Amino acid sequence: MADATVVWEAYVPLKPLGGGKAMAHIGQATWSAYDAVTNELPTKLAEIKTALLTPATYTESAAAGVQVMFCDRTIASGAVTIERKVTGDTTGNGVVDTFNFMLIGRVT
């Protein structure tokens, strides 16, 4: 499985509630290929509590398909598996292949 390419990212510390350090990992990335349904998103988080994945550009005709994204809560080897309902932009212009992400989790 290929890695998504991170365009920009930031790690923002959050006020800890309970044990461990709460952290937000935010940024923008692109899928490895327009026809990829599953990619790995590199992260330094050890555990994910919340994940938000949204397309960088909204396309009404794709709202029920390519723009439906989600990710696992399990992190393996410094990356989390992300998926989308259908493949991306078949026109090749790459617009719907760029997505924004916000992962909230803990750093141990």
We report the CATH number of the domain holding residue 65 as: 2.60.40
Classify 54 as helix, strand or coil. strand
Q: Is the pLDDT score of 53 beyond 60?
A: yes
Confidence of residue 3 (pLDDT cuts 50, 70, 90): confident
Q: Is the pLDDT score of 64 beyond 60?
A: no
Q: What is the pTM of this model?
A: 0.75
- Nearest by Cα to 8 from 21, 32, 25: 25
Count up the domains in the chain and report the number: 1
Pairwise CA distance, residues 59 & 98, whole Å = 12
Which domain, by its residues, includes 18? 5-107
Q: Is the pLDDT score of 102 beyond 80?
A: yes
Pairwise CA distance, residues 57 & 3, whole Å = 21
Do residues 44 and 78 touch, judged by C-beta distance below 8 A? yes
Cα-flanking dihedrals φ and ψ of residue 96, to 5°?
Answer: -85, 0
Tokens linked to 1: 């499985």
